[in-house]
Structure 1
Amino acid sequence: MYLSHFGFTEWPFSNTPDPRFLYLSPRHEEALAHLLYGVRERGGFVQLTGEVGTGKTTTCRYLLSQLPEGVDVALVVNPMLTPEELLATVCDELGAAYPPEPRTRKTFVDALYRHLLAAHGRSRRTVLIIDEAQNLSLDALEQLRLLTNLETATDKLLQIILIGQPELTTLLARTQVRQVAQRITARYHLLPFAERDTRAYIARRLQIAGQGLNVFEPPAVLAVHRASRGVPRLINVICDRALLGSYAEGRRTVNARTVRRAAREVAGEIRRPPRRVRAGAIIAATAAVLVVFAGAAGFAGAWRLPSLRALRNVHLTAAPEPPRTVALGPPLETTPGGMPIADAAPAASPVVASAPVVASAPATPAPAASAPRTAPDLGALLTATRPAADLSGALTRVLARWGVTVPAGEDPCRIATRSGLECYDGRGTWTVVRRLRVPMALKLTAPDGARHFVAATALDDDTVTLQWAQRTELLPTAAVERWWDGSFSVIWRPLPGVARVLAPGMQGPGVAWLRRALNDGDITGRERGPVVYDDALAARVIAFQRREGLEADGIAGIETLVRLSTQLDTRAPLLAGARPGR
């Protein structure tokens, strides 16, 4: 309908898993590396999970187009089968002949074993991929485990990759299938896109569909990301509807207003529940709609997209922090005895005394002029910030600490790439922030629901210096936690020309860098001859991942590489000791 209007040669936002449209974000690259690692291994399970619509199936289809020579694959896309039906499906996928009767498990397993032995004799490996694996029954899972027992004297004959929604993790945690969980050699959870990935994803699909120009205005792209929360499937649906709306209005570009209307239509809502209310009239109108159409308290939950509900409510369920305590060490841990801020951080707020202070003397009221500095109300400061502090501004401040200037209107991450740096989005606690050691942007949510991005430029045991707009504030970390969900964006320096995911069996300069970094912290030297990612290096990677609180799978993905780089890069700016705000 709108193809010729926008100059497309095909539908840009079809939800079919076409590998041509695959955009490999850093997270998808890491997921693909885990799958390729599973293909190279012999025996055991590899697990890939992700929320609905995050690109698991598309990544799997792309994997099939990237398989090395000598690999046979059986793909099961509907695993809601009995064990016998599952075995028959696997045999059919691999072309393993079996007699028509009797249709027993032994019949299918014997046929499969003969086929696997013959493939092994031809130096071929066999991989079984189960999509939507959360739908497997316990009996079917146990039968899959038994298939991993098919082996020769030296090799396992079958590698199994389980791909599914987060419910798969819950399923594998059940006692009845604990032996399956014990055989999982690699796990990865695929997250939605970061904002810049959404922007690149939209641009790529438009380009492949025949339109080199991005018909989505920059505010419209941001609106798509906010409405979809970075879920590719929702991005496709919203963008498709927005293009249709712009076509109906005769416009050649898509604006933010059209995107927001498209998002409401996609969600099946006339109006979203009133999370951000700015006028009494809106409150009254929305209340009337709720009374007429809902008639029940559960209206909001029923009409919201289930996969996004938890993300929207993350700040509504957090318990408020004690009013005058600060964190020491792990988040939410108060100082001994619940020490107030004035006693916990005297260095940051010195008391002006007119006479020597005797340590054993009883406490006496201090004059008003010598009272400790009271921490500002972060929630009130964020609410008063208009417009909301954006990610671009926060990353511009962070890049300034790296000595990189971002011209007005430019994308900070693009400028970072030109300077040999990269942006990385992560999630964690203050412990993670301390281990990364470098300035970063934190995502905060104000009491009115507005999202702000602030630059964290200094961090002490219990205080952090935040910069945004024209402000520089020294705040207790415990006070910041109330408005921070753990999301951050960090700048790091990758090794030029090195893959963002390093896995066992790989070799090259990236593997050499990894070995030096884990051996003696040297990330600048060179090694002679090829260096292979062997079992010994994988063991060191696992040890490092465990120390850092990462998924200990022995694969040096982007999160592992970022941790190593920021800890060992002597040219990186550090989170210096916090200073009082000005």
Structure 2
Amino acid sequence: MTETEAHMSALTGVESYLEHYQLSHDPFAARTPGFKFFTPKRKEVLAELHHLARYASNLLVITGPHGSGKTLLRQALVASCNKDTVQCVVMSAREHSGEAQVLASLCQAAEAGSQDIQALLARAEQLHQVGIQLYLVVDDAEKLDQQALQLLADLSQVAGKAAPRVFLFAEPAFEEALARLDTDGEPDWVRRIELLPYELDDTRDYLAQRLEAAGQGIELLDDRQVLWIHEHSGGWPGAINQAGRQAMMAAMGDELEVPRAARKGLVLPLRSLVALVLVGLGVMFAWFMGDRPQEPSRTVLQLPDPVVEVEARPTPSPQPALVAPVEIDPVAEPLASAPEPAPAPVVAEPEIAPPAEPVAEPEPIAAPTPAPPPVTTASAPAAAPVPSSETAVGGAHTAAWYRQRQGSEYVLQLLGTRSRQAALDFVAAQRGVSDLGYFETRHEGQPWFVVTQGVYPGRQQAQQAVNGLPEAVRRQNPWPRSIASIQQSLQ
């Protein structure tokens, strides 16, 4: 596959993922505008930084791995400063890493007049006289060269209350550069603060806030998925974003363990490998039984491709003109998803075992003979009215029923589609399924038709009820959805 083809495949995956879960945008995109999440422990770190800046003169170093939330903490530090008493100068070492570059950038931002250390200190003294403290905040500090780092350390140790307060946000490898600082034998020059990963409850709250910002809620993920995301991300926000998207895309298919297997080089899902092993054993058994084994029958195994992690959105491919497009909603179990390849013939066990009892074919239902139209010379008869979400459809609940339920209750969402007729046909086909519901809402500004089943007191009970549905319905990947979210979509 060429690079262009791989990119287009990734784009298609994101488009399908957003459409499948009815998300307004990718909830796990990096640095989503306006998104801020602070755990109690991160708030404690922020309070400690403010305290040290006010009462101490240390070089303040905040470390954490890539994706640990350092940039968000830095933004919160600047935003929470009192603008009447603090002037923050912020720079990134990705843009300025050398000593001369750093000094010039700081002097210019602080309006020091000239680009030398004395001018910067004079500006800090001038601000102090009017009750303002100068903060020098450096992001990506691991990119600083040793001379620039020594300059910032020296600035933090200038005698007097007017000395600038220096904050360095860096990755753990920065410790090596700190160890080479010339501190004049003073061990307390540097105050290190190490960020810690989120705990499981923090991860759950983080996922909930991300999903709510995209128009959905934490009910899209069950406890098993949340635990999987937490373990595979280590509790770091950046890795939670990747694992969260991976788990939700996997849940559109059939295997949670595909992401883990894919990293180890395993191409086929576990159940597919088991099926192949069983087929092979059947062939060996047939070979050793009897002199002339019959020609083995042929079994088709449809094996899904591995999950592709994606980041962007493409222009969706057009649907065929004569077939109504149907978008299937997800199952709560995180399983692998991908388009099914063409069936591959695989040799299966021969017909030696006793034949199974024949299953009676369902009797074909004869199409009703249409009654002849009445002979009239008047205008053509009016067309039959199209059912809406407020009218009964084959005995299914309607929008009014959802509005009367308790918001804490759950249903199983079986189908979501842009085609009204596809939803009605689906309802009509489920003769063996009781307690169906049907309503119309809007998704991305267009009509969206949803079919649900049952009503359950909680999410866990709804998830357990999936096992009691017919196999054909379970293949639609039903997922628990709260009545509250449906009532909100109907408003």
Q: Whose relative contact order is higher, 1 or 2, with alpha carbons under 8 Å and at least 6 apart?
A: 2
**Structure 1 length-normalised TM:** 0.39
